[in-house]
Structure 1
Amino acid sequence: MPKTKLISITKTILPLLLGVFLILYSIGEASPEERTKLWKNITQANPYWLLLSVFLGCLSHLSRAYRWQYLLQPMGYKTSFKLRFMAIMAGYLANMGIPRSGEILRAASLSTYQNIPFEKSFGTIISERVADLVMLLIILGGSLIFNQHLIINFLKNYNINPFFTIILLGGLLAIGLLGLQVLKKTKHPILQKVKTFGQGILEGMKSIFQMKHTVAFLAHTVFIWVMYICMFLVVKFAIPETFGLSFNAIMAAFVVGSFAISLTNGGIGIYPIAVGAILVFFGISKEAGEAFGWVVWGTQTLLNLVLGGLSLLLLPILYKKQQKQSCS
């Protein structure tokens, strides 16, 4: 087996195995009474609030699909809202199997169905992620003001270092830009192709500075994250023990969950454990806290499975239909 393929498989399997291990370990460590209480909190959660959480999550995805057009327009590309939405949902589904593969699938979908160069659409996705990272940092900063020692100690205990992640991303970006400068002077045919590809990504990233609708882009970015917080917040009303949680507690759990979700495929295993562990500090039992985490994770994962699965199914069908119409 080629070394690169082995590394790729390892990166996919290890986070998934970690998530499964954490689930089994958490269940094994709990007493029969604790497992019963956890299951009762999950199964008796008020479905009204769960449906509202799913609806708010769907609104955030719709807004993300609409926002994407603002980054594509400066490069002269027009795409349908339907295609952008399905590409995003298919990407979320892919991330559950192979971490970070969803961004590649999103760009590939536009390349396949709208003939937009992969590297340019991928560049716009990078710019999106930068904007989202800024929003997450703002939320993190606000939460740290009220829960500084609590959140920092919790992240240390779980070996979650958001600042290392930020520095790493910044370093990779700097290396990429430096690499492009070096490639400008090369005449090697293979490196010339790499240069063209890199310049396409850079052009896609620059689109964020060339938008005609900057205010609208920022408004959608804020709306997306407000919906993320709201879909998390309303779940507290679904479980009796978490009903009285303060907004301060919700924000602390939201921040911890946002960073924990990247540790395994789609946050499987680690997300509910991390959310439950932070809520314990606010007087919530471990079982109710983990039930809260499982319900949040489960409802949004189900949404991604359904919409992502439908998107993967419909994308090639609609594309074939468009091809037939254009040929007739």
Structure 2
Amino acid sequence: MQTKKFLKVLGSVALGVLFLWLAFREVEFSELIESTRGMSWFWILPFTAATLLAHYIRAIRWEMLFTNKEKVPAKTTLFTGVLFGYLVNIPLPRVGEVARPVYVARQVDESNSKIIGTIVLERVVDLLGMLLLMAFVVVFLIADPQVLSRLFGIDITNPETQFNFILTLGKYGLIAFAGIGVLYWLFKKASERTEGRVSDFVYKIQRIIKTFVDGLLAIRELKNWPLFIFHSILIWVFYIGMTYIGFWMFNMQEVFDLGITEAIVLTVVSAVGISIPTPGGIGTYHLFITKALFIFYAVPEATGLAYATIAHATTLIIIIISSPLLLTIDKFVMMKNEEQKSTENIPD
């Protein structure tokens, strides 16, 4: 098992290195440095604010998926969990998606599998949001949709490609739900026919599956749909804002006439790039953003790569600094709450 995990991490790192090489191979280092000389560092501050607000809104939205009102984590804990998950994702791609719910589950004494179920649900919502935004970009914002084929390597404007993509998503979704259902039924039957330790083990597995499904189906008990949708939209608004602020770092809004429309397009492109499992999106983000700026808006690759490198590095630094800080704050707040509860329980 350890060997398998090591090989996964090694493969992810190798993939990141490959994409980094593809991004940097046609750009001279001197050109990259030259592109950063006229950069306005002031815009790092609003970029940082937009990044943290996007993650905080994600934590607020996540709070709405906790159906057990007696075990709803504090906003500080949820925000810490979100940043901690991103921190773990830097060296270990996708592991942060498990580290985040496990951290929060321990803080509120809730089932790991149930909270992991809410993360899967959240990712489904994010995927739907990305697909809708991508459709909006293709239909309304790209003058020549065929240029997307040059960027992604496939003709995403082809109806057959779109149909096959939707069909594949639906197929794997149905297989996942059916598989979980079958596993639950098998373990339920096994628990009825076995005794002793084997029965206890089977029952525990059955409970894990059930609590995972409970987390996944938390959407059924969502009371405030408009607010949930608003938060989902707001997350993308801040992501787009991060991209747009990056333009001002390099004066690209003036030199290349890049505005909010272009920021929306690049946000979709970056979302696709980051979905490829490399450590912290390293390499994929650099390549996709650089090529998109060059292909769509004729931004020189040296400038585009400088933009991608600074934006990505800033994001990683924000996560690396804020995550340990939030972990400390959350631990302090939890200790204070426990002390307060102990004081309240002492009889007069």
AA matched with 1:256: V
1:8 Cα offset (Å): 0.8
List per-residue Cα deviations over 1:227-272 (Å, max 9, x = no partner): 1111112211211345412544433322221111132111112211
285, 292, 310: which one pairs with 1:271? 285
Superposed CA deviations along residues 54-111 of structure 1, whole A, max 9, x for unmatched, are 2111111111111122111456422211111111111110111111122212211222
Q: Does 1:94 align with 2:88?
A: yes
**Contiguous gaps of at least 5 residues in structure 1:** none
- The alpha carbon displacement at 1:195 in A equals 1.4
Distance, in Å, in 2 between the alignment partners of 1:272 and 1:23 is: 7
Counterpart in the other structure of 2:179: 175
Tell me if the contact between 1:74 and 1:210 (Cα under 8 Å) persists in the aligned partners: no
Tell me by how many angstroms 1:315 deviates.
4.2
Please tell me whether residue 288 in structure 1 is matched to residue 324 in structure 2: no
Q: Which residue of structure 2 lines up, in the alignment, with residue 155 of structure 1?
A: 152
Q: Which range moves more in the overlay, 134-143 or 178-187?
A: 178-187
Tell me, what secondary structure is at the counterpart of 2:71?
coil
* 1:239 to 2:254 alignment: no
More divergent stretch after superposition (310-319 vs 74-83):
310-319
Paired residues of 1:184 and 1:195 also in contact (CA < 8 A): yes
1:10 aligned onto 2:7: yes
Asked if the contact 1:86–1:311 (Cα under 8 Å) also holds between the matched residues in 2, the reply is yes
**Corresponding letter in the other structure for 1:202:** V
SS in 2 for 1:185: helix
Partners of 1:37 and 1:168 in 2: how far apart? Answer: 47
2:264 maps to a residue whose letter is: M
Cα 1:74/1:114, change in 2 over 3 Å:
closer
Q: Secondary structure at the match of 1:192?
A: helix
1:123 lines up with 2:117 in the alignment? yes
Scaled by the length of structure 2, the TM-score of the pair is 0.82
Residues 21-30 or 85-94, more deviating: 21-30
Contact 1:74 1:211 in 2 (8 A): no
Shift of 1:311: 2.8
Identity of aligned residues (%): 23
State the partner residue of 1:104.
98
- Amino acid of the structure 1 residue aligned with 2:61: R
Contact 1:83/1:315, CA 8 A, preserved across alignment: yes
Q: How far apart in 2 are the matches of 1:327 and 1:75?
A: 21
Q: Report the equivalent of 1:250.
A: 263
What is the CA distance between 1:22 and its match in structure 2?
3.6
241-250 or 193-202, larger mean C-alpha shift: 241-250
Question: Aligned runs of 1:222-237 on 2, under 5 Å?
Answer: 222-237=233-248
Instruction: Kindly provide the CA deviation profile for residues 196-252 of structure 1, in whole angstroms up to 9, marking residues without a partner as x.
Output: 101001111111110122221111111111111111122112113454125444333
Find the aligned partners of 1:150 and 1:191 in 2 and give their Cα distance: 53
Q: 3-state DSSP class of the match of 1:129?
A: helix
Matched-pair contact (CA < 8 Å) for 2:23–2:286: no
Length-normalised TM-score, structure 1: 0.87
Aligned residues: 321
Alignment match, 2:274: 261
| Bigger mean CA offset, 185-194 vs 52-61 | 185-194
Q: 2:135 aligned with 1:138, yes or no? A: no
Question: Any conservation in 1 of the 2:36–2:306 contact (CA below 8 Å)?
Answer: yes
Q: C-alpha root-mean-square deviation of aligned residues, in Å?
A: 2.8
Indicate the larger mover: 5-14 or 173-182: 173-182
Q: 2:52 & 2:188 partners in 1: Cα distance?
A: 43
Question: Gaps spanning 5+ residues in structure 2: where?
Answer: 155-160, 344-348
Corresponding residue number in structure 1 for 2:321: 306
